[in-house]
Copies of this chain bind each other. A is one copy, B any other.
Amino acid sequence: MKNIKLIIEYDGTNYVGWQKQKNGLSVSEVIEKAIFEVTKQSIELIGSGRTDAGVHARGQVANFLIETKIQPERLKDAINSKLPTDITIVKSIEVDREFHSRYNSKGKWYSYTIFNRLEPSPFYNKYSAHIKYNLDLDKMKSAAQYLIGTHDFAAFRSEGSSVKTTIRTIYSIDITKIGDIIRLDYKGDGFLYNMVRIITGTLIDVGRGKKSTMDIPKILESKDRRLAGFTAPACGLCLEEVYY
């Protein structure tokens, strides 16, 4: 029995998310099916975590146990040949039998992309949130500083998944602009349900002047979701890397 770790890129536009759902096709089941076509074995793919419908990934990690004579490094090419063009395995390696992509995750890096001009973009509409307002990046950067570190992020999460604690540590939030593209890069030890999207929505509110920088510590302290900003759309979110 080999334990195979995969690094996966996907365009989430046409999927209900990573995890199997009754209402449509999920990324994980498409990959499981491709692995079955290659190996004739039904495996259970363990992802590092869920991504919601429309969310993308350039560094999702998953692992599965399998009995196969195919070289682990070559498995990716065999699986890719059975995958649709919107999902690609970029790496497949054998790892220690104990490795578990979800339990062993020590942190994650997510990016959020904003397309910031009046007219929508034919190229970025599926990969960004289209924000027409002028955004004050300096204010957004100042606001983000209050979120870095270890905090109770109860105000910045959606209900719907049970977690032991709402305390998380954000290592960094980098905000950069190139042309009409604003990119927010979040690195942390873990993120609550919708946390990156709600923080992004709140920072957008700060950038357009609907909220002030000084509102951020108050929202954190309140632990009240209703005080934070809107949940930025799923299509702007991308899981860049999982840390182990």
* Given A80-B120, A119-B90: A85 touches B125 (CB 8 Å cut-off): yes
CA distance A76 to B118 in the complex (A): 11
Contact, CB under 8 Å: B119 / A87: no
Cβ 8 A contact of A122, one of B76, B88, B121: B88
Q: Which size class do A's interface residues fall under?
A: 20 to 34
Contact, CB under 8 Å: B85 / A120: yes
Residues of A54-92 contacting chain B, CB below 8 A: 56, 58, 76-77, 80, 85-90
Neighbouring B residues of A122 by C-beta, 8 Å = 9-11, 56, 85-88
Neighbouring B residues of A76 by C-beta, 8 Å = 119
Residues of A101-133 contacting chain B, CB below 8 A: 118-123, 125, 127
CA distance A88 to B77 in the complex (A): 37
Contact, CB under 8 Å: B119 / A123: no
CA distance A226 to B80 in the complex (A): 34
Contact, CB under 8 Å: B88 / A9: no
Cβ 8 A contact of A11, one of B56, B58, B123: B123
Neighbouring B residues of A86 by C-beta, 8 Å = 122
Distance in Å from the Cβ of A187 to the closest Cβ of chain B? 19
CA distance A123 to B119 in the complex (A): 22
Cβ 8 A contact of A88, one of B58, B87, B121: B121
CA distance A9 to B117 in the complex (A): 14
Neighbouring B residues of A118 by C-beta, 8 Å = 77
Contact, CB under 8 Å: B119 / A80: yes
Q: Which 6 A-B pairs have the closest CB atoms?
A: A11-B122, A86-B122, A85-B125, A88-B119, A9-B122, A90-B119
Excluding A77-B118, A85-B122, 16 further A-B contacts by CB distance (< 8 Å) are A9-B121, A9-B122, A9-B123, A11-B122, A77-B119, A80-B119, A80-B120, A85-B120, A86-B122, A87-B122, A88-B119, A88-B120, A88-B121, A88-B122, A89-B119, A123-B127
Q: Would you mind naming 26 contact pairs between A and B with Cβ atoms under 8 Å apart?
A: A9-B121, A9-B122, A9-B123, A10-B122, A11-B122, A11-B123, A56-B122, A56-B123, A58-B123, A76-B119, A77-B118, A77-B119, A80-B119, A80-B120, A85-B120, A85-B122, A85-B125, A86-B122, A87-B122, A88-B119, A88-B120, A88-B121, A88-B122, A89-B119, A90-B119, A123-B127
